[in-house]
Every structure is written in structure tokens, then in C-alpha cells.
Structure 1
Amino acid sequence: MKKLENKVAVITGGSSGIGLATAKRFVEEGAHVVITGRREKELKEAAAFIERNVTTVAGDVSRLEDLDRVYAVVKEKHGHIDILFANAGAGTIAPLAAATEAHFDQTFDVNVKGLFFTVQKALPLFSNGGSIILTSSVSNVLGLPGFSAYAASKAAVRNFARAWTLELKDRKIRVNSMSPGPIETPALATTTGLTPEQAEQAAAQFASQIPMGRRGKPEEIAAAVTFLASDESSYITGVDFAVDGGMAQV
């Protein structure tokens, strides 16, 4: 029996990186997956990579009407949700002295507002006994210069997991946050605002800060998220599950 046999899972930010690797793993474990992302082309490429049991819906989690459209598709196609991986996130570098209102608003619109309503709007479809996993970050406990708005947004995500664990306990819905360290995804070079040279330097610096001496792979995060989504973690709720090579632990 596969770990997620016949489960219905929704993954935001599912067209690349951690979200895509997790969607692939979920399907391998028997789930039917609905993935969202802002770019239709990347979603089509993701669906081709996953190959089967996947539905794509383009949308921006910071736009509530887009979330409504996502869940309308889920309701029509599957009727319920067993697993939600609220993974979509944004993070650009901006030192305190140089940060703009637009930088702050974009960070919190996606990472906090978007995640909040991603979960809220899923609840009417959610099966009792299901699992919600929220992508936080090691930055929720670390000071990272230039990433203060991002780190604060991820600390908010950590607290959502605490509060929602209590709010949803009567429905036996488990809520956990998952905090990756630096991972080998395109995001460092494509979404942070760094030049290719700066991204390469940042990757080397991150590796030097990690006891395991390297960045993680998306598939390693996917394995951890699959554990939290499955019945193997049936007595785990409210935790922040660090998957960071020890970066924030020692």
C-alpha cells in the first residue's frame, strides 16, 4: 500500500522547485494532485514531468479570486481535500535602509496573506483527519541580513501552525510547518534579485553555514513533506519540522 493511496492533495507553488518535487512524490505515493502557480507555461511543463494524476490551475495565491477558482476546480474534480501543502512563497533581498513599501507588501501578500487564505478557503472541502503542511523557513529563527521582511513573514507562518493546530483539533486535522534551509532550486537566481554571480556566491556562503556542508535537494524536502502528509506522522501536529542540514539547529 502506498503512503498516500487515493488521497487528494493541493499544492500551491507547485510548478517548480520544492512544490514540483513534492507533487511528483505525492503522485508516486498514490495521490491525485492539484498544483497551482502563476505561470501557465511552467504548469504545463510540470504536468508533463509528473505525467499522471495531476491537475493544474493557474493562479496567484495573493489574489483571493484566484484561490476561489482553484478550489472550484478541486470541488468539481474531486469533491474534497485530504492534504494541503501551502508552499507558495516570495522573497527578495532588501536591506532595511533600502526596502520599499512595494517590497514589504509583495512579501507579506504572498507569504502571509496568501497562505492564510489558501488554508481558510480550503477548509469547507477538507476531510476530517487530513493534513496541512505550511512552508516556513529556517529564517523564522535566524537573523539573515537583507531578508528581514521575508524572515518575519516566515515567523508568522510558524505561528499559524500553532494556532490552527488548536483551531482544527476537533476535526482531527493536523497542521505542521516545514522549514527548509537553502535548497538547490532556481529561486535563488530567479526571484531574489541577485545577479548570477551573487547567487553563486550566496550558495557557497550558505553551504559553509550548514553542518552537512551542502544545500539540500528538492527531493529531500519532498520526502519530509510526504512524511508529514501521511499517516506515518499521525501523532505529529503543531511542530516546525526543520529540513535544513542542521543550519538552524546547532
Structure 2
Amino acid sequence: MRFENKIVLVLGGNSGMGLATAKAFAAEGAKVHLTGRDQATIDAAVASIPGSKGYRSDISDIDSTEEIVAKVEAEDGRVDVLYINAGVGGFAPLRGITEEAWDHVHSINLKGCVFALQKALRIMGKGGSIVVTGSIGAHGALEGNGAYAAAKGGLYMAMKVFAKELVKEGIRLNMVSPGPIDTPLLYRNPGMTEEQVAGLKEMMIANIPMHRMGESDEVAKAVLFLASDDASFITAANLFVDGGLLELR
């Protein structure tokens, strides 16, 4: 029970990797607070995780995130582990990127995550642990992935800088960068048809050395490792969970 009596906040914990991780934290003794943008999936997540609390919130809305932090503080006084997982996809070639699409991806994947970290730090202290979901998309050139890669690449560097700042306060900050994981996010790519998404999935599987998509539970295991005392001498790490796709290309 690595997280017994720990207070965990999962931003973007109502589906996919976030939900799998929230469940895993609870299974190891944590009290879990989670957020999402869809009330129905939030309610379903809370129903599946004993003792958890769920809140509707859009991470791109900084005031909304601050309100969530205040609610967690009122309930439990602190956050021991913060997992920032909220994110969106969005494929479009250079000539097809719109300003609206660019701003949408960056407001969630970069700006929202940075300010969520800033707000949550107010109720975190020495011994705290933070894990942020990055992406191997920040480290490779996949055509049509410019907006997403730029946001996740910016997030990677921002978190590296913040890890250096926070280590002085006794707070660890690490990143998990998934590769192709079979989650609902894969099927919510604005501008892509179902056929294009299916083609993208086939292309991914063909290029993964393990010849399969990853599962949300596999990402959850990596997050819990980095968040736990098992990783007490690890900070500023970026752990790839991608079936060897990036390093064995």
C-alpha cells in the first residue's frame, strides 16, 4: 500500500489513462480527487473508486483549476501527489492548422498544465510528488502533429525547469511520456475521419517494436512508480511508455 493515507489529485482522471491511474492510486490506499470535463464520466469514475471525489473542470480555465484546489484544501488540507494528465489531440498539416485549433491544443496541453501545477503547489509541501503526462510526440517528427508536438515539447521543457526549482523544496517532479495507447483520446482528433483514425492506429502498430498498442493500466503503473517512494531518488525524469517505439526506431 504505497499511498496509504495520501491525498492524490488527478487532473483529467475521468477516462483513459487518468481513470486507470486514479483507480490504481485508490487500490494502494490513496484518497483520490479527480477532475474531468464530462459530468457523466466523472460520475462513473467516482462510482468506481471508493471514497473518491470528482469535480467538473476544464484545465484551460485557470480560475476553475484554482477552485478545484480550494475544494481539495477544504476537504483534506493538502495534496501529497499531483498527477496532471488532462490533454487533447489534434492532427493537421502545416497548411491546415488554424489559429483556433492551435490555441485550443496549447491552452489545454501547455498553458493549462503549467498553471494547474502553479495553483496546486499552494497546498503541497516537502515530500510531495508530481507526475505530468507528456508524449513521445514531443520527441519525434510525425507529419501532421505540429501543434500537439509543440505543446507537449514546451511542456517537457517547462517541467524540466520547474523540477529544478522544486527540488530545493523537497518536491519531486517527473514526466511519463506515453506512445500509442488505446484510449478515447485517440478517437477524438478534430479534423480526422474514422477511417483516418483507423489508418493512424494501423500505422502506429506497424511501427511499434512490440507490435501492439499500449494499455492505460501500463501507463498507470509507470505513474505510480514515479509518484511513490520507490522513485525517491528520481526527479526531472521523462519515462517513455511506448513499447520501444522511440528508442528502437
Question: For 1:23, what is the secondary structure of its paired residue?
Answer: helix
CA distance in 2, matches of 1:226, 1:38: 23
Distance 1:245 1:143 in 2: 18
Q: Distance in 2 between matches of 1:24 and 1:234?
A: 22
Q: Which stretch has the larger CA shift, 2-11 or 197-206?
A: 197-206
- What's the counterpart of residue 192 of structure 2? 194
The Cα of 1:191 is off from its aligned counterpart by: 3.7
**Which residue number in structure 2 is paired with residue 12 of structure 1?**
11
Q: 2 CA distance for matches of 1:234 and 1:193?
A: 42
* Residues 191, 49 of structure 1: alpha-carbon distance in 2 compared, 3 angstrom cutoff: farther
- Opposite residue 241 of structure 2, the aligned amino acid is V
1:193-244 residue CA offsets vs partner (Å, 9 max, x unmatched): 4322222221111011111111100000000000011000001101111111
Q: Which runs of 4+ in 1 moved over 4 A?
A: none
Asked whether 1:68 is paired with 2:61, we answer no
1:34 aligns with 2:45: no
Distance between the aligned counterparts of 1:164 and 1:42, measured in 2?
Answer: 31
Give the aligned residue type for 1:126: M
1:20 CA displacement: 0.3
Does the aligned pair in 2 maintain the 1:161–1:239 contact within 8 Å?
A: no
1:94–1:103 Cα contact (<8 Å) kept = no
1:138 counterpart residue number = 136
Give the aligned length: 248
Q: Match of 1:184? A: 182
Partner of 1:76, secondary structure, is helix
- Look up the SS of the partner of 2:176 in the other structure: strand
Distance 1:160 1:28 in 2: 31
In 2: Cα distance, 1:29 partner to 1:16 partner: 19
Could you tell me how far apart the structure 2 residues matched to 1:134 and 1:152 are?
Answer: 16
Partner residue, 1:104: 102
* 3-state SS, counterpart of residue 8 of structure 2: strand
How many angstroms apart in 1 are the aligned matches of 2:48 and 2:191?
27
**2:7 is aligned with 1:3:** no
Q: Secondary structure at the match of 1:214?
A: coil
Could you give the per-residue CA deviations for residues 59-114 of structure 1, whole angstroms, max 9, x where no partner exists? 10111111111011100111000111111011111111011000110011001110
- Equivalent position of 1:116 in the other structure: 114
SS at match of 1:33: strand
CA RMSD after TM alignment = 1.0
- Pairwise CA distance, 1:192: 4.3
CA contact (8 A) 1:182 1:216 kept: yes
Unaligned 5+ residue runs, structure 2?
Answer: none
Separation (CA, whole Å) in 2 of partners of 1:192 and 1:67: 25
Q: TM-score, normalised by structure 1?
A: 0.97
Q: Name the CA distance, whole Å, in 1 between partners of 2:101 and 2:135.
A: 18
Q: Which runs of 5+ in 1 are unaligned?
A: none
User: Partners of 2:151 and 2:125 in 1: how far apart?
Assistant: 28
Question: Residue 129 of structure 1: SS of its match in structure 2?
Answer: coil
What is the TM-score with the length of structure 2 in the denominator?
Answer: 0.97
> Could you tell me how far 1:47 is from its partner in structure 2?
1.1
Residues 89 and 188 of structure 2 are in contact (CA less than 8 Å); yes or no, is this contact kept in structure 1?
Answer: no
Give 1:173's aligned residue: 171
Identity of aligned residues (%): 40
Q: State yes or no: 1:214 paired with 2:212.
A: yes
- Partner of residue 155 from structure 1, selected from 153, 156, 160: 153
1:231 maps to a residue whose letter is D
**SS of the residue aligned with 1:81?**
coil
Counterparts in 2 of 1:193 and 1:27: CA distance versus 1, 3 Å: farther
* CA–CA distance in structure 1, aligned partners of residues 2 and 140 of structure 2: 33
Cα deviation, residue 115, structure 1: 0.3
CA distance in 1, matches of 2:188, 2:240: 24
Shift of 1:128: 1.0
Amino acid of the structure 2 residue aligned with 1:120: Q
